[in-house]
Structure 1
Amino acid sequence: MTRTILVAGTASHVGKSTVAAGLCRHLADRGVDVAPFKGQNMSNNARAVLAADGDAEWGEIGVSQYVQARAARVTPTTDTNPVLLKPRGDGESQLVVHGEAVDDVEAGDYYETHWERARDAAADAYRRLAAAHDVVVAEGAGSVAEPNLRHRDIANVETARFADADVLLVADIERGGAFASIVGTLELAPDDVVERMVGVVITKFRGDRSLLDPAIETVEDRTGVPVVGVLPYDDPGLPAEDSVSLPDDEGVRGDDDGVPDGRAVTVGVPRLPRVSNATDLEPLARVPGVRVAYLPPSASLDGVDAVVVPGTKNTVDDLLALRETGFDAALAAFDGPVVGICGGYQLLGERIENAHVEGTGDRRVVDGIGRLPVATTFSADKRVEAVTRAVSGAGPLSGASGTVSGYEIHMGDTHALAPVDRPVGPESAAVGDVAGTYLHGLFENRTMREAFVEAVYDAAGRTRPERDGGRRSPYDAAAALVRDHVDASVIDLG
């Protein structure tokens, strides 16, 4: 019989995804046939994976379940995340069921018109996973104890019930108030979910573990639920689930690599209001000497050596947001390497046709930033597919060769208005030091990452530091956190 453990939380961003990924890798290392699952997710960081249900070959899931499947050493499918909500702004989300976009909904409408379908989709997907694997590691969403949501909480309450899951509660001590959060969560969560609790894991602890003993004893005496682990503060380097994990305005990633600032280069990334798939930048931040600076639209590009414009859930409105602050003009005048990915590629073009502007109902032509001689025409069709592209190398990617792999999730077709190079397959474009592509996961490919970093160093006139001989696997690092700091009787589920 399949065993299921639900990694639930006292709140959002407490470490559930890391614990779930670590548990998946730990069990896989022990020879257990394990698969991840999240009944309902909300994220604009998505991946294209094989569709497990429906007519399409490919579908979308949240990035965390893709990462957890990799940790479990299984092929990710849409069954690992059967319901995905992709926020579009102004309280509206695109609803994706079994990997396929089915509607744009507001929160109230979703619960009124789509919730039962979503719940059934989640239960069906779980049953298929349970039939194919010995253990399912499910991840909850937000808090497991929201009284206003408990009657329609697919990711937590419903999953605990239809999966007959053991529940592991995760609390983040770095935020403060962790012990009160644990007690409050166990007080407010549904009784049948609390009865399934096998333990509490405290994450992101800095200091002497023994200092927590009095508080742990108090919580255990008060609730009857044991604290089965205290994880030290350590970021394994797993891709973040959503933009909440990005640094604050003008925050920088990659500045802890030991490379002096005078030998480093800075890649500026505009924090688009509706940014999606921001995980595309994380491989760059792991390169020694590369600083990835997340810039508010009002920021200057002074001190920036290159720019990568990420994806967006709404190209037109994010373009207008950049125009309102003057960032579009700064980007138009920038003389270093520039790469646009997906929506970032679209807004670098000359124009966007059949563009929908929020709040107007209009369909019209909107001028782009004009860094590439291309135009994008929007339609209702959405492309979702994992792809492999031939590399010709051009512009800031000119040192790349061979083939690269990634995925495409976008609406709109982009065509050239003048001759362009095609650095990454037929829909890409490059002119001078500017390139655009629809390929998400671009910098996960070593040849692309190295070509871009070399181009940035060359343009900056700096000598690149010695390259890192190798970094630890983020999956193994997450597994070590769980294996070394959580009671084996709870996590050895095989």
Structure 2
Amino acid sequence: MKGIMIQGTASDVGKSLIVTTLCRILSNEGVRVTPFKSQNMSNNSYVTSDGNEIGRAQGIQAEAARIEPSVWMNPILLKPRSAQDAEIVYLGKAIETLSGSGYRDHFYEKGLAVIKESLQQLATEYDVVVIEGAGSPVEINLKDRELVNMKVAELADIPVVLVADIDRGGVFASIVGTLDLLEPNERERVVGVIINKFRGDLSLFEDGIQWLEEKTGVPVLGVLPFVENHMIDGEDSLSIRTQFSYPKKGTLDIAVIHLPFISNYSDLEPFLYEEDVTIRWVKNSSEFGQPDAIILPGTKSTISDMQNLRDKQLDILIKKHVANGGFIVGICGGYQILGEELIDKEGRDTNIPNYKVKGLGMIPATTTFYQDKETNQVNAQYHKATGLPAFQGLEGYEIHLGKTTVSKGGIPFLTFANGEDDGYFGNDGHIIGTYLHHLFHNDEWRNHWLNMIRKKKGLPVQEIKSISEYKDKRFNILANEMKSHIKWDLMKKLIHQWGSK
């Protein structure tokens, strides 16, 4: 298999976006291309069509490549559950929870084997692989048992391009320092450098490019401009700051409660396309303000995050908001928090069997946590008792621990294609809870919900926006932009001729 690996001088330098864009460039040229990331650490995940869980970034990269996402594109996903422990998702299924040291001591050989297997599988299906690294390849304390950077490039036997973020400063030191800390055989694999997030007049940086090439002997393959509000889904907490920091003042103010163990924040990204909507992250009561609506997102540790709300007295403000007629939507863990009680029957959420805590009490429901996790792609309709318009069916996915039981008399929000009811619909839609991730990616529903808020504020309703069409166009815009700023012919040569000399 031919390919290229994108490594970075640090986290959040733009590796995921560059891999996504390279996948679309190659796809546009008729290449059968696939993304790959050996090991991801993120609570922002993606459910494949066969009900398996991979990193969100690899799911989006597969979409950019116009192929079906699979577990072979991200065989290991680590989902943090605390400051010390992470759940291991292995080939799409959660298998155990380990500490960092436990993972390094007991999982390395198994991880190495599944990475080899995954690369072999992808080689049978695709012509080119675009691999994403993680963090920096020169974390000296981790290098002896790393599974994400140079070891993967060696297994795949492909060249490496190093990406540095000039916007954060220190770009020369980060590039030279990274190259100097690589082992000689690793250093030989680095065939180019990309400088990302450049602002200003590129002509003023030409001397810097010349200095880098003379100092390192590595060509600068391109200098990419800073892309404001690129709207391509991210994968970790650093991406939240990048994606949602774009200044936008809309007439609709939506407060998202920033839970410490937030997961699947990509549920919120469609609001970036709504011109009159402002998304605000609220961590503390001082940031709460007077929102038009609140969203409680998913979480990897529901009980811990419920207690965090109470400690910060955000629970009081949320209840007051709803009592005054405000809108609230809880998704997955957020839905569980809206209920009356949370019971950790098997210690799956807290490691304490039969641990109980009160929820916000806005939905007449109890959630009980069991050992097994639900991961499914879902088709659904509005429950007939909601009285909602008969739109097209909704699509999304479930990734959750726990079963939520709504008391008799409570109106479910959705009916899944398998006949099961989901969620809660109360106060004529002012209170909604659901396990359906990507609820707001359904254009008709998002438009209906926002129009309810607009009407309450005395604002005119708006037409439906197609996010999927806009997103596909965005892939192409980014591909054309990136292609114009890199030495594409040289990069293709590096991909196809590596190892042939």
TM-score interval for Structure 1 and Structure 2 normalised by the shorter chain: over 0.9
Secondary structure of 1:420's partner? coil
| Residue 378 of structure 2: aligned partner | 387
After TM superposition, the structure 1 stretch with the greater mean CA deviation from structure 2, 165-174 or 295-304, is: 295-304
| Residue 412 of structure 1: aligned partner | 402
Partners of 1:394 and 1:133 lie apart in 2 by 47
- Counterpart of 2:370 in structure 1: which amino acid? S
| Residue 418 of structure 2: aligned partner | none
Q: Deviations over 1:268-304 (max 9, x none)?
A: 0011011001111111122110001000133454320
Secondary structure of 1:174's partner? helix
Alignment of 1:8-23 (within 5 A): 8-23=7-22
Q: Answer yes or no: is the 8 Å Cα contact 1:38–1:65 preserved in 2.
A: yes
Partners of 1:242 and 1:359 lie apart in 2 by 22
Moved over 6 A (4+): 357-360, 465-470
| Residue 338 of structure 1: aligned partner | 328
Residues 394, 239 of structure 1: alpha-carbon distance in 2 compared, 3 angstrom cutoff: farther
- Counterpart of 1:309 in structure 2: which amino acid? L
- Counterpart of 1:383 in structure 2: which amino acid? E
Alignment of 1:39-438 (within 5 A): 39-50=38-49, 57-235=50-228, 236-247=230-241, 255-256=247-248, 261=249, 264-299=251-286, 301-334=288-321, 335-354=325-344, 356=347, 361-392=352-383, 398=388, 401-425=391-415, 426-432=421-427, 433-438=430-435
Q: Answer yes or no: is the 8 Å Cα contact 1:204–1:232 preserved in 2.
A: yes
List runs of 5+ in structure 1 lacking aligned partners. Answer: 51-56
After TM superposition, the structure 1 stretch with the greater mean CA deviation from structure 2, 482-491 or 274-283, is: 482-491
Partners of 2:175 and 2:25 lie apart in 1 by 25
Residues 423, 181 of structure 1: alpha-carbon distance in 2 compared, 3 angstrom cutoff: same
Secondary structure of 1:155's partner? coil
Partners of 2:450 and 2:359 lie apart in 1 by 26
Q: What TM-score comes out, normalization by structure 2 length?
A: 0.91
| Residue 484 of structure 1: aligned partner | 484
Q: 2:442 aligns with which of 445, 451, 459?
A: 445
Deviation at 1:17, TM superposition (A): 0.5
Secondary structure of 2:6's partner? strand
Residues 400, 477 of structure 1: alpha-carbon distance in 2 compared, 3 angstrom cutoff: farther
Deviation at 1:449, TM superposition (A): 1.1
Partners of 2:491 and 2:476 lie apart in 1 by 15
Partners of 1:185 and 1:488 lie apart in 2 by 24
Q: Answer yes or no: is the 8 Å Cα contact 2:413–2:422 preserved in 1.
A: no
Secondary structure of 2:414's partner? coil
Q: How many matched pairs?
A: 479
Partners of 1:254 and 1:181 lie apart in 2 by 26
After TM superposition, the structure 1 stretch with the greater mean CA deviation from structure 2, 386-395 or 436-445, is: 386-395
Partners of 1:221 and 1:25 lie apart in 2 by 32
After TM superposition, the structure 1 stretch with the greater mean CA deviation from structure 2, 370-379 or 70-79, is: 370-379
| Residue 499 of structure 2: aligned partner | none
Q: Answer yes or no: is the 8 Å Cα contact 2:375–2:397 preserved in 1.
A: yes
Residues 431, 359 of structure 1: alpha-carbon distance in 2 compared, 3 angstrom cutoff: closer
Secondary structure of 1:218's partner? helix
After TM superposition, the structure 1 stretch with the greater mean CA deviation from structure 2, 171-180 or 231-240, is: 231-240
Deviation at 1:477, TM superposition (A): 2.9
Partners of 1:464 and 1:184 lie apart in 2 by 54
List runs of 5+ in structure 2 lacking aligned partners. Answer: 416-420, 497-501
Partners of 1:76 and 1:187 lie apart in 2 by 36
Deviation at 1:385, TM superposition (A): 1.2
Q: Deviations over 1:224-270 (max 9, x none)?
A: 1000100011142101111222239xx965643xxxx5x61011001
Residues 373, 403 of structure 1: alpha-carbon distance in 2 compared, 3 angstrom cutoff: same
Secondary structure of 1:377's partner? strand
- Counterpart of 1:407 in structure 2: which amino acid? Y
| Residue 28 of structure 1: aligned partner | 27
Secondary structure of 2:363's partner? coil
What percentage of aligned pairs have identical amino acids? Answer: 37
Deviation at 1:418, TM superposition (A): 3.1
- Counterpart of 2:330 in structure 1: which amino acid? G
Deviation at 1:358, TM superposition (A): 7.7
Secondary structure of 1:246's partner? helix
| C-alpha RMSD of the superposition | 2.2
Residues 359, 422 of structure 1: alpha-carbon distance in 2 compared, 3 angstrom cutoff: closer
Q: Answer yes or no: is the 8 Å Cα contact 1:66–1:76 preserved in 2.
A: yes
- Counterpart of 1:124 in structure 2: which amino acid? E
Q: What TM-score comes out, normalization by structure 1 length?
A: 0.92
Partners of 1:490 and 1:80 lie apart in 2 by 26
Greater share of helix residues, 1 or 2?
2
Alignment of 1:460-479 (within 5 A): 460-464=457-461, 471=470, 473-479=473-479
Secondary structure of 2:148's partner? helix
Q: Answer yes or no: is the 8 Å Cα contact 1:35–1:72 preserved in 2.
A: yes
Deviation at 1:325, TM superposition (A): 1.2
Deviation at 1:467, TM superposition (A): 7.1
Q: Answer yes or no: is the 8 Å Cα contact 1:253–1:292 preserved in 2.
A: no
Secondary structure of 1:244's partner? helix
